[in-house]
Amino acid sequence: MAARRPLIAGNWKMNGLRADGVALARAVAGGAVIPCELVVCPPATLLAPAAEALSGSRVGLGGQDCHAQAKGAHTGDVSAAMLADLGCSHVIVGHSERRTDHGEDDATVNAKAKAAHAAGLIAIVCVGESEADRDSGRTLQVVGGQVEGSLPTGARAANTVVAYEPVWAIGSGRTPTPEQIREVHGHIRTTVAQCLGQPAADAMRLLYGGSVKPGNAAEILALPDVDGALVGGASLSADDFLAIGKSCP
Ligand code: 13P
């Protein structure tokens, strides 16, 4: 099986003015050498100054969303090519906040991931069940369906990462049990194998996201089929984000 290098991605969401963003990016870039890959995903307004602050470092840059089209009359949107042009290597697509706030469905997410690939970006494709889905015993069905619907045919380990983020764990301080994370990640890998073949599934990185903190990162990152984390709130502190990075096995 191909080795999967752990990836810790920080999703800053809609946080930070220029001075904060530059200071945070600089502090992450200046952190001690970490045994995994680090990527930060600032809001669109901070991508250019963050790119400058990260230049020469080994920390990658990602967008939080992209449009499915390469260009055109889409007021307020940003294309994958524009992100790549600013120095991004990654883009998050299908985050639950986009699925909820902007009504994005699997087909939209699939098209955005495809656009990311066309621009040479690695798509971080987010999936995750709601609390009602989990309470009704539908977690594996819902998450498996999102994986099937959201991964475009050209997805492979080199251009795609899947992030499992249970909606009820995001920003809540609650996390699934290790057994629940293990079960869902195993199911995601099986589903990826059915969609894209076993070699792609074996090599693809699966991140866990939802209330990852320095205090719980080591336990989560040590689980089988967990190849990193997508971190929200804790990524706004360079110390916490780097501490999570240092927890990689
Ligand atoms: P929190 O780490 O704040 O729970 O957010 C997780 C998330 O949504 C990352 O994309």
Q: What is the pLDDT of residue 197?
A: 97
Q: Each residue of 148-179: pLDDT tens digit?
A: 999 999 999 999 999 999 999 999 999 999 99
* pLDDT score recorded for residue 3: 81
Section 121-132 average pLDDT: 98
- Residue identifier of the C-alpha nearest atom 2 of ligand 1: 232
In this prediction, residue 45 carries a pLDDT of: 98
Mean pLDDT of all residues belonging to the chain: 97
- Report the nearest-CA residue for atom 5 of ligand 1: 232
pLDDT number for residue 33: 74
Catalytic (active site) residue 95? yes
Reported as a pLDDT band with limits 50, 70 and 90, residue 2 is: low
Residue 105 pLDDT > 90: yes
Q: Which of 68, 146, 159, 158 is nearest to 112 (CA)?
A: 68
pLDDT given for residue 213 in this prediction? 98
3-class DSSP assignment, residue 230: strand
Q: Which residues have any ligand 1 atom within 6 Å of their CB?
A: 11, 95, 165, 170-171, 209-212, 230-234
CB atoms within 10 A of CB 41: 28
Q: Give percent above pLDDT 90 in the chain.
A: 96
CB 168 within 8 A of CB 130: yes
User: Predicted confidence band at 239 (pLDDT cuts at 50, 70, 90)?
Assistant: very high
- Top-confidence residue, 233 or 31: 233
Ligand 1 centre and the CA of 209: distance in Å? Answer: 6
Q: Which pLDDT belongs to residue 186?
A: 98
pLDDT by residue (tens digit) across 44-57? 999 999 999 999 99
Q: Residue 34: which pLDDT band, with cuts at 50, 70 and 90?
A: confident
Q: Which atom of ligand 1 is nearest to the CA of 213?
A: 2
What contacts 24+ positions apart, CB below 8 Å, involve 205-208? Answer: 205/4, 205/5, 205/6, 205/7, 205/157, 205/161, 205/162, 206/161, 206/162, 206/163, 206/164, 207/7, 207/9, 207/124, 207/161, 207/162, 207/163, 207/164, 208/163, 208/164, 208/165, 208/181
Domain boundaries, the chain: 77-244
- From residue 47, how far is each of 25, 53, 146, 219, 222 by CA, in Å? 10, 10, 28, 31, 31
Is residue 22's pLDDT more than 70?
yes
| 198 Cα to the center of ligand 1, angstroms | 29
Angle at 100 between CA 231 and CA 63, to 5 degrees: 45
Quote the pLDDT of residue 142: 98
To which CATH superfamily is domain 77-244 assigned?
Answer: Aldolase class I (3.20.20.70)
Ligand 1 atom nearest 96 alpha carbon: 8
Through-space distance between the first and last CA atoms of the chain, rounded to whole angstroms: 17
**pLDDT over 60 (residue 1):** no
- Residue-wise pLDDT for 50-97, tens only, equals 999 999 999 999 999 999 999 999 999 999 999 999 999 999 999 999
Local confidence band at 35 (pLDDT 50, 70, 90 cut-offs): confident
